[in-house]
Amino acid sequence: MAQIIADRRDVDFVLHEQMQVEDLSKHERFAEFNKKTVDMIVSEARNLAIKEILPTQELGDQEGCKFENGKVTVPESFHRAYKLFKEGEWVAMTEDTEWGGQGMPTTVALAANDYFVGANLAFMIYPGLTNGAGRLVETFGTDKQKETFLKKMCTGEWTGTMLLTEPEAGSDVGALTTSAVKNDDGTYSITGNKIFISGGEHDLAENIIHPVLARIEDAPAGTKGISLFLVPKIWVNDDGSLGESNDVVCTGIEEKMGIHGNSTCSLTLGGKGKCRGTLLGEENKGMRAMFQLMNEARLIVGHQGLSCASSAYMYAVNYARERIQGKDLLKIRDKSAPSVPIIRHPDVRRQLITMKVYVEGIRSLLYYVGLCEDKIKITEDPEEKAKYQGIIDVLIPIAKGYATDRAFEVCSHGIQVYGGYGYIKEYPMEQLLRDCRITMIYEGTNGIQAMDLLGRKLGINRGKPFMDLLGEMQKIIAAAKGVSGLENFATKVEEAVNKLGEVALHMGTTAMSLRVINAFAFAYPFMEVTGDVVMSWMLLWRATIAARKLEKGARKKDAAFYEGQIKSAEFFFYSVLPITLGKMRAILTTNGAAVEISDDSFGG
């Protein structure tokens, strides 16, 4: 079976032809990341992913994590892969070189992670969380905290997590009960229980650094009274050496549907009264710190979904080319006709092109968000920074919620292409489906993403970011109208964009009226149609580039790729967008059945 987890031609297309990432090297911050360097980074990531990380995917799923006497062991194969990952300095790709990072653009890091996460999502959660925890230290830490923890985390010598969830405080973080009491030496005694902690205990590193949300004595109720603390598994002395165990005890790990190779832990802090932490940032501003980094975390989860979908698509395409089954439909009555690869069957082709358009569209979306982040880092114009940040804010619920919904759908199509073989463990499809499912849940369920889009992002700065986003779409529509053969495509996307503007205005107005409950009952459909329109924008953008390359006489080996871009767009515009417009008409009714039905009427 071919071991292709991401289409290198498509990755290169998005990086260089669509996002033109090499333009970033014109700026001092990213000067060293020219096209040659970017290509080398992606090639090295691909080699490590396929040769060393991919073999751990099935093994890690079968072996899983083991818990005994408060200790957790990860699958044995993970140790070599993690050692090589650390040695390659891949843990903190976008972080400052001062702390052991590579300082690369977010867009390039996303391309590298196409391969790493596609090779083994469960494995990549360990360094992924470490990078996120390190970012908290870099952003909010004191000089002493940075000196003590940051380089160890950026190099992967120590790992990191995030301790938010409690038994009675899941999505409602403000209900947490973990407490913090200030000590005479300036540290805080931490007491509480946390659940669903990915990578909360394991044997990959000698120390685990836990950013912990807790409430200081007499702090305000709800999220306003939450603070953020840095709590190491093993206390770190002033000279940087490791001290005594810090009373952070794993009480068990979860048996899960997927990501078996990642330890999902229950942790007790201060069970013996000896858990200490240091304040990270300011008192009672822990949630503010978390929200500042929420965009990055949700982009990562969206990318996890994409990586599962990309692998599923690559496997499905190759399987469909090799699997011989049934006659060509046009020769069905010819008894002498040979059987053909299933890729020749219309319904299989329908499923494959459905998978193709979402994998490609989502990849473009995520890289675009990454590019916006990179542009914020290099521009000195405050208005331009604000514009890019606003667009990111609006797109993040789509990049997480919509993207992971569609990614799971892609994985499901992949199983269907394989038929019965897709449902058994001999092939990778069923694991990809199981692993992908968590991406729709953590870092805020997709229902919460929809509420975030409607309740927070749509009305930011009186709707300017949403209008800026529509404006970016209009630029591509205008460009497509100038390309022979794409005029009709552009008209269809323009109709959808204009209708989305109407729906957004209706939803924003309804959400501020007495029918607010009705509006939020349609928050999820609103996220879906917004995602569909974003996909149409990305696919039209791709098709415009491809058509221009074909007009100029693309090389023979590239022509099929470019033609495929145009057909992907055509399929989406004729098969998906009409359904999207129907959903928009339904949203405009804001029918109240879902909220008006009585609790008893649900039965049971």
For 339-375, how does the pLDDT look when each residue is reduced to its tens digit (9 = 90+)? 999 999 999 999 999 999 999 999 999 999 999 999 9
Question: Is 562 within 8 Å of 554 (Cβ atoms)?
Answer: yes
Domain assignment present for residue 366? The answer is: no
Within this chain, do residues 98 and 209 fall inside the same structural domain, yes or no? no
Domain assignment present for residue 490? The answer is: yes
Within this chain, do residues 478 and 491 fall inside the same structural domain, yes or no? yes
For residue 296, the model assigns a pLDDT of 86
CA dist 228 and 280 (Å) reads 5
- What is the number of domains present in the chain? 3
Within this chain, do residues 42 and 166 fall inside the same structural domain, yes or no? no
589's CB contacts (< 8 A; 6+ apart) are none
Question: Is 2 within 8 Å of 318 (Cβ atoms)?
Answer: yes
Q: Which of 349, 344, 341, 346 is nearest to 325 (CA)?
A: 341
For the annotated catalytic residues, the residue numbers are 443
For residue 32, the model assigns a pLDDT of 96
pTM, full prediction: 0.96
For residue 183, the model assigns a pLDDT of 95
Within this chain, do residues 479 and 565 fall inside the same structural domain, yes or no? yes
Domain containing 43 equals 8-154
| Residue where a domain stops, chosen among 154, 179, 204 | 154
Domain assignment present for residue 383? The answer is: no
For residue 557, the model assigns a pLDDT of 83
For residue 2, the model assigns a pLDDT of 52
Where is 339: in which H helix or E strand? Answer: strand 339-341
Within this chain, do residues 134 and 15 fall inside the same structural domain, yes or no? yes
CA dist 60 and 57 (Å) reads 5
Single-letter amino acid code for the residue at 104: M
Within this chain, do residues 12 and 150 fall inside the same structural domain, yes or no? yes
Within this chain, do residues 216 and 127 fall inside the same structural domain, yes or no? no
Question: Is 311 within 8 Å of 292 (Cβ atoms)?
Answer: no
Within this chain, do residues 150 and 164 fall inside the same structural domain, yes or no? no
The token duo for 458 is 């749509």
Within this chain, do residues 165 and 228 fall inside the same structural domain, yes or no? yes
| Residue where a domain stops, chosen among 272, 288, 304 | 288
Taking the CA atoms of residue 522, residue 524, residue 526 and residue 532 in that order, the dihedral angle to the nearest 10 degrees is -150
Within this chain, do residues 121 and 29 fall inside the same structural domain, yes or no? yes
Within this chain, do residues 83 and 149 fall inside the same structural domain, yes or no? yes
- Beta strands per DSSP E along 74-187: 159-160, 179-182
| Residue where a domain stops, chosen among 220, 254, 288 | 288
Domain assignment present for residue 387? The answer is: no
Domain assignment present for residue 201? The answer is: yes
CA dist 186 and 148 (Å) reads 16
Domain assignment present for residue 314? The answer is: no
CA dist 42 and 108 (Å) reads 8
Within this chain, do residues 183 and 150 fall inside the same structural domain, yes or no? no
550's CB contacts (< 8 A; 6+ apart) are 559, 562, 563, 566
The total of other beta-carbon atoms located within 10 Å of residue 436's CB is 28
Given a cut of 70, the residues of the chain with pLDDT beneath it are 1-3
